[in-house]
Amino acid sequence: AHRYLAGWCARVAGEIVAAGVDDLLALPLYPHYSYATTGSALQQLAAALRAAGFAGRLSALRSYPDAPGYLDAMAERLRATLSAAAPQPAATVILCSAHGLPAVYVERGDPYRLELYRTLEALRGRFPGWRFALSFQSRVGPAEWLRPYTDEMLKELAGQATRTVVFVPLSFVNDHLETLYEVERLYFPMCRELGMTPHRVAAIEHHPAFIETLAAYARAWDAGRAGVPAAELLPPDQHWRRVGRWSWLAWALALLGVLWLAFC
């Protein structure tokens, strides 16, 4: 089931019910848990299943930020890039650029940033002698998001005599808009303007070690050793935060305008 393609979740829910499934594991392709990603995806799936008449048990895998196979796949992709680019470690920063998140989510207990650091530290341990950094991309709107922002981090790195930046898609397991476009079309030119040479590590995609990790979790769930009730992972009510105070303000001003026109 795809989180952002219209109809897919509802269609798959119907197929699950039609197949007579009564015990279901939701296996997220988000390695790091967040209310906004795994949480909201499970919320969507649970609603689609209810609408389709599913009456069975829905379990979910929470996250796997430092699963050995996941790290193996990332490390192999990174080694391939470093081998091809052959940068000097002392003048290179391996920049783990993750999808951003409104800061208020973390303030309310979202574990996303902590799980990202677990991945980064585990990856750093496999590459002694190389400098690593974490930054956040893909922010939207006027609200404060997790810092440091990737574009601001690049300026900071340039001021530290960095000559090469190797982008690692830390929270993305496949290549798409935010790696192929945002990193290569937006951040690469910025790097070059700042006097740095950029490289991008390919996402792990269908790397055998990653696929085996997912399969191992499925087998462990089947044996009763993995997974938790999906209801335990649903996000808290954050409608106000998701819609945003600026959107509410805009609607309030529009309403006041309508009332003013009606009574004046």
Strands of the sheet containing 92-99, edge to edge, are 131-137, 92-99, 164-168, 197-200
Confidence band, pLDDT 50/70/90 cuts, at residue 256: confident
Distance CA 246, CA 63 (A): 32
For residue 104, the surrounding DSSP H or E stretch is: helix 103-107
Q: How many Cβ atoms from other residues are within 10 Å of residue 24's Cβ?
A: 17
- Percent of the chain surpassing pLDDT 90: 83
The pLDDT value recorded for residue 115 is 98
pLDDT score of 174 more than 50: yes
Average pLDDT, the chain: 92
pLDDT score of 263 more than 80: no
Mean pLDDT of 214-225: 97
Which tens digit of pLDDT belongs to each residue from 58-117?
A: 999 999 999 999 999 999 999 999 999 999 999 999 999 999 999 999 999 999 999 999
Which tens digit of pLDDT belongs to each residue from 105-161?
A: 999 999 999 999 999 999 999 999 999 999 999 988 888 999 999 999 999 999 999
Confidence band, pLDDT 50/70/90 cuts, at residue 259: confident
Cα distances (angstroms) measured from residue 84 to each of 78, 87, 130, 195, 200: 10, 9, 16, 20, 11
